[in-house]
Amino acid sequence: MAGGTVDEKEAEALRIFRGLSEFGKGLLMIVGSDIFNDSLRAEIVRQVELRNIQKIEVN
């Protein structure tokens, strides 16, 4: 990883990233540099919502 510091935007991104579940982190990593792929982004959100529904149904 280049550089010894994180700027404000990177710090904010890390803060949010750390608050995600492992599932959420994994999905975000999958998107990666393909962030402007609209269908992929939509699928990520769909997967999160689907998992939410499943979690609620289980409980």
Partner 1 sequence: MLNYAMKISNKSVKDGLTEIMDTETLSVDDVAAMTGVSRPTLYRIIDGKQQFVQRSIIRKIAEKTGRKFVIDGDSVRFVIVDKPVNDNLTQQEREFLDILRGLDDAGKDALIDLAGSIWRAEQLTKKRRKPSESSED
State the residues that interact with partner 1 by CB under 8 A: 1-14, 16-25, 27-29, 31-33, 35-36, 41, 44-45, 48-49, 51-52, 55-56, 59
Shortest separation between residue 29's beta carbon and partner 1, angstroms:
6
DSSP SS3 for 54:
helix
The CA distance from 49 to 35, in Å, is 19
Q: Taking the CB of residue 17, how many other CB atoms lie within 10 A of it?
A: 13
Shortest separation between residue 31's beta carbon and partner 1, angstroms:
6
Shortest separation between residue 39's beta carbon and partner 1, angstroms:
13
